[in-house]
Amino acid sequence: MTKLSGAEIVIACLKEQGVDTVFGYPGGAILNIYDALYKHRDEIHHVLTSHEQGAAHAADGYARASGKVGVCLATSGPGATNLVTGIASAYMDSSPIVAITCNVANPILGKDSFQEIDITGISMPITKYNFIVKDVRELAGVLRRAFRIARSDRPGPVLVDITKDVTAAVTDYEAVLSAAEALRPLPAEEKIEEALALLKAAKKPCIMAGGGVILSNAAEALTAFAHRLDAPVCCTLMGQGAFNQNDPLYTGMVGMHGTKTSNYTVSDCDLLVVVGARFSDRVAGSPKQFAAKAKILQIDIDEAEVNKNIHVAASLVGDATALLTCLTEKLPAQRHADWVTEIQARKERFPLQVGEGLTGPRVIRELDRLTPDDAIIVTEVGQHQMWAAQHYAYHSPRTYLTSGGLGTMGFGLGAAIGAQTAKPDSVVVNVAGDGCFRMNMNELATVAREELPLIELIVDNHALGMVRQWQTLFYEQRYSSTVLRDRVDYCKIAEAMGIKAYRVTTVEELRTALREAVESRKAAVLDVLIDSDEKVFPMCPPGADLKEVFDESDL
C-alpha cells in the first residue's frame, strides 16, 4: 500500500483499467490531474482537442471503434458543460465512456464560486450513472465502479466529478486488478423453448439487427443464426456492419430511409426477430402498423426495452452472442426457399438509385470502391449520413460510426479523431455535410497537431440538406434558414490548419482526390460540390407505415 494524492490515484486507476489514451482540455480545477498526467505521459497519451465537445465525441469514437471504454477530461464550469452534448450522444447510442471532471474545492462548493456548476445534476438524465467525489478515500473505488458500470450489460457513459481539494489530498492506495465481467445467465428454459417454437413455426421469418449486435460482439453469432434460420436480414442505422452486406440474405437498411426491400419484408414477414434494437420512431414509423402481420421475438440486454415502443410476442433478455449461439445450437436447420427467392426478386426490382454525375450516392459508391474493406466510415448527421449507410457496403462491425439516437451535428470529426487514435493503421473517413462541418471544424487543428491521417470528406450542397429536403416535401418549398450560400472556403480553412485540401466538382476529380488521400496516409480535406436539391431516397413519411416508403419513381 502506498500514499498517493487524489490526482495520482486517478492516473493509477486509469492504468489499472488498461487506459492508454485520454481526450481532454485542461483548466484550473483539473490542474492537479493534468500535472499527474504529465508525469505519466509516456504511459497515457493525452489528445488535446480544440473544444471539450470534441473530446467527448473523440472518447465516444474511440470506444465505438475499439470496443474499449473511452475517456475524456474537462475542468469545472463551462469545461464540464461543454461535454454534455457528447455525453448525451454516447448515452443515446449506448457507447461506453467515462467522463472525468473536476469541480471547485469542498469549502466553496455550492456557493456560486468561480466556474462552479452542478455537473452531476445536469448530466443525471444523460448518463448511465454519475458520481461526485468529496472524499479522497472514496476516489479509487468510485473510479473502478465507473468503468465497470460503463462497460457492463447495456454500455453507456458514466461521469465522475471530483472536487479540486480531493485531487490534492493524500491517502492510502492499493492497486486492484480489473476482473473480467461475468456474463448474464441465459433465460429460463421455457423462455428459450417459447422462442424456438416461434422460429420453427415461421414460414416468412425476417431478422432485424440493431446496434446491440455490435456492442455485444455478436456479428458472427448473428450470421450463423441467420443461415440456420434461412431468413433475410435487415439492419437499423446503428446496426450497419452487424451483418456482412455482401451476404445474399442482406436486404439493406430498414426504416425511414431504408430500402424498399427491407421495409416491405418487415411489413410482410410472419416472424420478426429483433436483435439489439430499440424500435426507434425512425425505424418503426407507425407503432400500430409496424410489422402488423408478424409475431415479434425481441432479443435485448435491457429488459426495459421489451414492450416499451412495440408490443412483442416473446422476448429473451441477455447477451446477444450467448442467446443467438444457444438458439442456433438448438434450432434444426430451416429452409424457406420460396420466401428467400421472393426477397431476392425484390432486391432486383428495387435497387438503390445513384443518379447521373456527381451525386451524393455516387460520392459514397466511389468512396466504397476506393477504400479497403476494413476502412472506418464516420459520419455527421443528415443526408450524407443516410447515403453513407445506404451506399457503402460494410463487411464487419465497428466500421460505421454515427450519432443515431441524438443525431448530433458535429459528432463526426471528433469521433473520427477517436477512431483514428484507436485504430492508427486503419483508413478513417469522416463523411460530413457542409452544415455539420461548420459545427466543429476547429477540430481540424487537433487532426493536424496529432498528425492523424484521417480524411474529411465534405458533401457540400450549400444547404442544410436534410432539413431542406423536408421543406421541399412537406413545407411547400419554404426554405427558411437552410441555404448556406456564403463565402466560406473550406479548402482555405483546411490549408490554414496545415492540411492538404481538394475541391472536387466532377466524378473523375473525386476519384483522383480519394486515391491520393488514401495512399498518402496524411490528413486531407475533400470539399465535394453537389446540387442543393438532391434528395435521400427511399423515404418513408414520419410516423407512417413502412409500406408507404417512396422514391423518385413514385414522385
- Catalytic positions, please? 52, 114-115, 164, 466
- 25 CB-near residues (< 8 Å, 6+ apart): 48, 49, 51, 52, 55, 73, 74, 75, 79, 82
- Orientation of helix 411-422 relative to helix 84-92, angle to 10°: 70
Q: Encode 392-412: b = buried (16+ Cβ within 10 Å), e = exposed.
A: bebbbbbbbbbbbbbbbbbbb
CA distance 520 to 142: 44
Calculate the alpha carbon distances from 433 to 126, 188, 360 in Å: 26, 48, 10
Question: How many other CB atoms are there within 10 angstroms of residue 520's CB atom?
Answer: 12
Lookup result for grid cell 493509477: 12
Asked whether 234 and 253 are in contact (CB, 8 A), the reply is yes
Counting beta carbons within 10 angstroms of the beta carbon of residue 24, is it exposed (0 to 12), middle (13 to 18) or buried (19 or more)? buried
Torsion of CA 163, 164, 165, 171, to 10 degrees: 80
Which amino acid type is present at position 74?
A: A
- How many angstroms separate the CA atoms of 166 and 32, rounded? 10
Of the CA atoms within 13 Å of residue 105, those in its CB half-sphere come to 9
Amino acid identity, residue 485? R
For residue 376, give the DSSP letter: E
Backbone angles phi, psi at 501, to 5 degrees: -130, 150
Type of residue at 361? P
Q: What are the C-alpha distances in Å from 277 to residues 12, 207, 262, 274, 386?
A: 37, 11, 15, 6, 18
Q: Residue for cell digits 458500470?
A: 149
- Contact between 74 and 99 under an 8 Å Cβ cutoff? The reply is yes
Rg (CA), the chain: 24
DSSP letters of 59-100?
A: HHHHHHHHSSPEEEEE-STHHHHTTHHHHHHHHHTT--EEEE
Cell 410476442 identifies what position? Answer: 313
What is the end-to-end Cα distance of the chain in Å, rounded? 73
